[in-house]
Structure 1
Amino acid sequence: MSYRILLIEDNPEMAENISSILHLARYDVTHAPNGKIGVDLAQRTQPDLILCDIMMPELDGYGVLHILNKDADTASIPFIFLTAKADKSDFRAGMNLGADDYITKPFDGHDLLKVVETRLKKSEFLKTSLGNTAGDVSAFFNKARELKDFQKLSENRPVRSFKRKDLIFMEGQSPNDLYFIEKGKVKTYKVNCNGKELITGIHGEGEFLGFVPLLEDKVYNENAEVLEEARLTIIPKSDFITLIYSSKDVARKFIKMLSNNLEEMEDRLLEVAYQSVRQRVASALLKINSRFAEENKPTLITIARRDISNIVGTATESLNRTLADFKDEGLIDIYGEGIKVLNYSKLEKLSH
């Protein structure tokens, strides 16, 4: 793979020297002679890494970094400052803006290539998925350990098996681990003062549990109970916290996951407030079906009726009546062990 590097440097001789070194290492280099052109090229070409001089007329390196960090498409591109200054205040100013590294002029070719290689390697790791399989999660944390910042992380990540109705954690407990679901299904729920259960989420293979309390350093605000026999990887709190606080990009991944969770919760609250029971049941069936659908296999929803009713926000009797109506209308089929969706398009129309 040929990595694309954008060099923003106003000194022609310095730019030629750096470009030639990078070309010899088989990098694809584009040169921008000033900050304004550099910003435009970065936004248009999305390079794999940016090398940028600090002291430039019109728009200096700090201004370039500030603009690119405000753009979601360029904020995660590794950014390395080139500077003739070695004053600590200059380093601090750049790092506070989000720079990934510094190279102080004068430098030799070996130092330049080593910094570039390290930052590209870290960037590739951060682009990996947080995991849909146990292998992905293992690779994610193992790749983290290859990086200098993460070499001291614990190597132990035990796997535990849980039976149906086993509690993984309870509201009010202090979190010690991050959980990754290798197999099975888990529900998270809250219980109100009257003992009424509200399911806040149904989670399956490839999903993380319990990262919000770890991020906020608070107790669990909900319970997690196994719906089907499950196998969970237990990731020590120290591993997770080190990853989060050592890298803004890893933190950004989990913040994105958190925002998705909040959006989903807001949608569910709106559904409960404004939609009919028929609409809510149709929406719940579609969401559960899509979440646990297996490629090229018909999905059978085996979640208990009581749990589905707690997702919908209605009594189990009302759910059963609605499901019977859906069966009569040819939207679903009901088996002894579960529910199968037959007509997706009609359910989608009904859910809106």
Structure 2
Amino acid sequence: MDRNTTAGLVPKILLIEDNPEMAENISTILQLAGYHVVHKSNGKSGIDQVKQDPPDLILCDIMMPELDGYGVAHILNSSPDTAYIPFIFLTAKADLSDFRKGMSLGADDYITKPFDDVELLRVIEMRLKKNELLKTTFTKKPQDLQTFFNKARELKEFKKLSENRPVRAFKKKDIIFMEGQIPNDLYFIEQGKIKTYKVNYEGKELITGFYNEGEFLGYVPLLEDKPYNESAVALEDVRVSLVPKTDFLTLIYSSKDVARKFITMLSNNLEEMEKRLLDLAYQSIRQRVASALIKMNENALKLREDAIISVARKDMANIVGTALESLNRTLSDFKDESLIEMSGKGIRVLNQQKLERLLRY
């Protein structure tokens, strides 16, 4: 297994653990796997170590004296200089509320003790690969799009991404897509120029945009799940690479960090457009979770008056079509907004009318 980073260096892992026996055991496992390990026995010294020599990944126990793991996560995630470092909690606490608290503080993962050696190494490897993807700078060249997909496919959430994307050629004045058509693909312009336009009731053409080599086209209708509200035509001979809708939605909804990276590519680093796309993606997740809760609540009400939705989170994530962490984050938001109540028995809908209202906006 290749343990080299893009810089050709052995990944450095900071282990913050106050139990000497546990720390020695974990350090041995990681060193045998080819990682460089630095151990600190408390949260304060761990933070000092990060500031002096930032690691590639942090493993941190929660229950520690002086400064616990939550405090470490909060301090590191509050600083732009350290917030990017993958952070994994090691804990004997397995309560769902503890998990939510850790993730809300910026943790990337949560491993419960006792854990399997293979599980630990698998989680670390995936987090390092994801961080490498997030740190990579991608240009507007077609080969960079392929590189992005190749790196994404190394992560478990994206293994189903297409290995190769179809390429289509259009002649000058060819129609790429028409207003009212249902979108099935995201377009990446490898060569040529494309114009988008609308036609008013008098038959007059209103130009809405121009797109050049290295730009993406058609992502807003895919995010909104609506027909195209404009048409697109080739201004010269054009070659486009097609990203299937399933690939596009997987990249947007399976991981918040990867979605942000992908959206940065889509928006050409335009802050206003990036914010709009992130808002669209987030709102869509809220709507889909709300829709799933409404349907499951109606089914539960048929069985008993005091309905409890007892579907496993993993199954609910599959129903919604999003990653488990995205589902948990959205459910937590709904709980804070008093839309639902969560307990060990399941989920109870408190305000279905407000959930239904989410579907209209």
Q: Say whether the 8 Å CA contact 1:189–1:201 is kept in structure 2.
A: no
Count of aligned residue pairs for this structure pair = 264
Partner of 2:239: 231
- Note the C-alpha offset of 1:170: 4.2
Counterpart in the other structure of 2:288: none
- Structure 1 position 254 matched with structure 2 position 262: yes
Which of 121, 130, 137 pairs up with 1:122? 130
Kept after mapping to 1: 8 A contact 2:30/2:121: yes
RMSD of aligned residue pairs (Cα, Å): 3.3
1:27 correspondence with 2:35: yes
Q: TM-score, normalised by structure 2?
A: 0.61
Moved more, 9-18 or 237-246: 9-18
Residue of structure 2 aligned with 1:203, choices 196, 209, 212 = 212
Label 1:263 to 1:242 Cα distance change in 2 as closer, same or farther (>3 A): closer
Query: In the TM superposition, what is the alpha-carbon distance from 1:105 to its structure 2 partner?
Result: 1.9
Percent identity over the alignment is 68
Q: Deviations over 1:193-231 (max 9, x none)?
A: 894745544321x33222233234344455433232111
Asked if the contact 1:5–1:49 (Cα under 8 Å) also holds between the matched residues in 2, the reply is: yes
Larger Rg: 1
1:151 to 159, 170, 193: 159
Q: For 1:196-345, what aligned pairs fall within 5 Å after superposition? A: 197-198=206-207, 200-204=209-213, 206-257=214-265, 258=267, 260-261=269-270, 263=272
Task: Please give the per-residue CA displacement for 1:130-149, whole angstroms capped at 9, x wherever unaligned.
Answer: 55333332232233333322
Unaligned runs of 5+ in 1: 266-352
For 1:150, the aligned partner's letter is: F
1:54 aligned residue (54, 62, 68): 62
The one-letter code of the counterpart of 2:43 is G
1:66-215 to structure 2, matched below 5 A, reads 66-107=74-115, 109-130=117-138, 132-154=140-162, 157-188=165-196, 195=204, 197-198=206-207, 200-204=209-213, 206-215=214-223
Cα offset for 1:81? 1.0
Output the CA distance in 1 between the equivalents of 2:76 and 2:117.
27
Distance in 1 separating the partners of 2:21 and 2:227: 58
For 2:251, the aligned partner's letter is: L
Structure 1: how far apart are the matches of 2:268 and 2:74? 24
| Whole-angstrom CA distance in 1 between matches of 2:222 and 2:44 | 41
Q: Which residue of 2 aligns with 1:345?
A: none
Give 3-state SS (helix, strand or coil) of 1:157's partner. Answer: coil
Q: In the alignment, is the contact (CA less than 8 A) between 1:131 and 1:207 conserved in 2?
A: no
- How far the C-alpha of 1:168 sits from its partner, in A, is 2.3
User: Which runs of 5 or more residues in structure 2 are unaligned?
Assistant: 1-8, 275-361
Alignment of structure 1 residues 3-18 onto 2, 5 Å: 3-18=11-26
Q: CA deviation at 1:155?
A: 5.2
Amino acid at match of 1:115: V
Say whether the 8 Å CA contact 2:62–2:90 is kept in structure 1.
Answer: yes
The answer to whether the 8 A contact 1:167-1:225 is kept is: yes
Which is worse superposed, 159-168 or 133-142? 133-142
